[in-house]
Amino acid sequence: MEEYKFTVVIPAHNEEKYIGKCLRAVRSAAKYVFPDKVEVIVVANRCTDRTADVARHYGARVLVNDDKCISAIRNTGVRAAKGEIVVTIDADSLMTKYSLVEIRGMLSGGRYIGGGANPKFDRMSIGIAFSALYVAINLIPVMKKNGGYLSGAMFWFYKKDFDAIGGFDETLISLEDMDFASRLKKHGQAQGKRYGTLKRSYVTTSARKFDEFGDWYLIKNRELTKRIFTGRDREAADSFYYNARN
């Protein structure tokens, strides 16, 4: 079996417009670590477009998971990973060119169990800024419960630690990322390690949800937003995520 240092896992639902940019960013970052030791897995979820074809064009390994559960989709990719270090990023997001270098350095130093990255939108407006603030305020109780701010956007960890905590919780409809970060942090604390956030690198993520629904959508639909933050409201998650695009 071919040995890999990294595996980058990318969930993708009808992402032909974005997946190429995401994969080019991964390819660029791979040049600074082990170009021939970076495996890329795209998990195609209910795709009716050319997402899989584009992914294969860029050399990615394509798996299929048609569940309406982002945890199950992520788990499908990570469990199939051949790399020692796993990085997860969404198909409409871009890592920076030194991301893998920084991840390797933080993990190899032995102080960190894994961690995340800070995101920024590819465009900004007053509506998006207020929406982000509103989301942050609503997440404060959840963050306090989980021991403070835990970055997400792009998770990085050793696969062995993913296995040790049981991966992403497939009973959750949303907020699976925060739950995973919290459990990874606790797993690290038991070993005297910290949950980290990349300092030099970040993730540029698409503002397409705002393009689709409007920059003030989360503010205007505050009850829906709160329902999404329960983590278990299927109807709310479907309306905003799973059934939003064909």
Q: What is the mean pLDDT of each run of 10 residues along the chain (246 residues)?
A: 87 96 98 93 97 98 95 98 97 98 97 97 96 86 77 96 98 90 96 97 95 92 78 71 60
**Confidence (pTM):** 0.92
Question: In this structure, what is the dihedral angle of CA atoms 21, 19, 96, 61, given to the nearest 10 degrees?
Answer: -120
Asked if 182 and 146 count as a contact pair (C-beta separation under 8 A), the reply is: yes
The residue to which tokens 């009808």 are assigned: 14
Residue 66: partners with Cβ closer than 8 Å, 6 or more residues away: 45, 46
Residues in the chain: 246
Domains and CATH numbers, the chain: 4-121+150-207 (3.90.550.10)
Side chain identity, residue 132: A
